[in-house]
Amino acid sequence: MAAVSYRSEKEAVNVIRNFIPAWFAVIMGTGAVDILFHVFPYGKGSQGMKIITLIFFLLNLSLFIVFAFISLVRYIMFPDAWGVMIRHPAQSLYTGTFPMGSITILTIAVGLIHDDYNFGGKPFMYVLWSFWWIDVLCSFLCCFGVLHYMKTTHTHTLETMTPAWVLPVITLIVTSSGGGVVASSLYKYSLNHALITASLAIFMVSIGLSVALMILTIYLLRLILHGLPPGGTITSAFLPLGPTGQAGYAILLLGQFFETVLPLPYGSSKFLVAETTGASINVVCTIISVVLWSLASGWLFFALLGVQNIMRQTRIPFKVETWGLIFPNGVYANLTLSLASTLDSTFFRVWGSIYAVATLILWCFVTTRTFVLIRNKRIFEIPS
């Protein structure tokens, strides 16, 4: 019995020591599926869809709390682990999964818990707003901190580059979309606070999208010069759907917000008090969102072609990083469904629904494989 207890304790310690930041991609993926249930056009607003959305929300929140606790214990038990991780050229890129995963929880908390169920009223909304500000801080630290380490500490080459380079940058884009959701609900309590939130969201999505497009341009050059990423790393080919799809969604939300709040009832700015400003901003934002959806669709074709090419040559191993497949596909489906609602388009509605179902099937497959590998502890690999 003592030997069994010692072995179990040793296995638990190994799990904690090897609990890399990429595990928060599970939160991102589950949260993306949760959001798709919330916006799914067929049965939207029904009690059944709300219950499913709430179940996924509670599951995701529970996982987030557990993962955050394990991560905290990891860095307390192994204080050197943080330094090793942040200097690692691959693992450090996944630090952004923490703020991005938390935004998926915040989005449902605002849209379902506060807006649909009217839970908590103004105090609860301001609690969620404060969480968003914490996420903003984490996003800026992840983005500029990791990019700084990439330039000063890590060793990278064009040949070994993957789309995972965009992960620290996407944090700004994802948090800006959360700002769009928060601002739309915060508006009825405070116009000034909502405007501050939306303005910062514009600032964040502008930086995040600009840098992400620069990185994706370099990645396309890498593909042309050195070919497809080898083996299992080909799954990262879907990551470009993340910045393009989520930026399109964030910009679409912000355009709709400004159409709602403008013109302002006060001030001397001719731009902000003009009757046509809000509608004009919304039109421009909608056009930009369609362009970004088209760009995401282009990267989707590249990814599908690349995956089928690699799968004909070798098997793709399953790792915890495979969870990174779900979020970019989920945000692409979410943008498609949002455009369907905005444009009243049957094409976007049908295509978005098909893609949302495909994303759910992918989530079920990845979840099943994860449970199998958790039982035999194979998924808890020691980072190099």
pLDDT block averages, 10 residues each, the chain of length 384: 57 78 91 94 88 94 94 89 86 91 94 89 94 95 92 86 90 95 92 94 96 93 85 79 94 95 83 88 95 95 85 74 87 96 94 95 90 69 51
Note whether 185 and 108 are within 8 A (CB): no
Burial label for 383, CB within 10 Å (0-12, 13-18, 19+), is middle
Note whether 1 and 66 are within 8 A (CB): no
Q: What is the pLDDT, as a whole number, of residue 205?
A: 96
What lies within 8 Å, CB to CB, of 373 at 6+ separation is: 318, 379
Tokens of 67: 């993962």
- 3-state DSSP helix/strand/coil percent for the chain, to nearest 5? 80, 0, 20
Q: What is the pLDDT, as a whole number, of residue 382?
A: 53
CA 341 to chain centre: 21
| DSSP characters over 266-321 | S-S-HHHH-TTHHHHHHHHHHHHHHHHHHHHHHHHHHHHHHHHHHHTTS-----GG
Note whether 326 and 28 are within 8 A (CB): yes
Q: What is the pLDDT, as a whole number, of residue 221?
A: 92
Note whether 332 and 245 are within 8 A (CB): yes
274 phi-psi bin (left φ>0, alpha ψ -120 to 50, beta other): beta
Length of the chain: 384
At 262, the amino acid letter reads L
Q: What is the pTM of this model?
A: 0.92
* Distance of alpha carbon 199 from alpha carbon 204, whole angstroms: 9
Note whether 327 and 28 are within 8 A (CB): yes
Domains of the chain: 13-376 (1.50.10.150)
Angle between helices 346-375 and 326-343 (to 10 degrees): 160
**In 3D, which of 138, 159, 161 has the Cα closest to residue 150?**
161
Residue 122 CB neighbours (<10 A): 12
Q: What is the pLDDT, as a whole number, of residue 384?
A: 47
Q: What is the pLDDT, as a whole number, of residue 154?
A: 86
What lies within 8 Å, CB to CB, of 277 at 6+ separation is: 258, 262, 263, 271
What lies within 8 Å, CB to CB, of 317 at 6+ separation is: 231, 232
Note whether 273 and 267 are within 8 A (CB): yes
Count CA within 13 A, CB hemisphere, residue 259. Answer: 15
Q: What Rg, from alpha-carbon coordinates, does the chain have?
A: 21
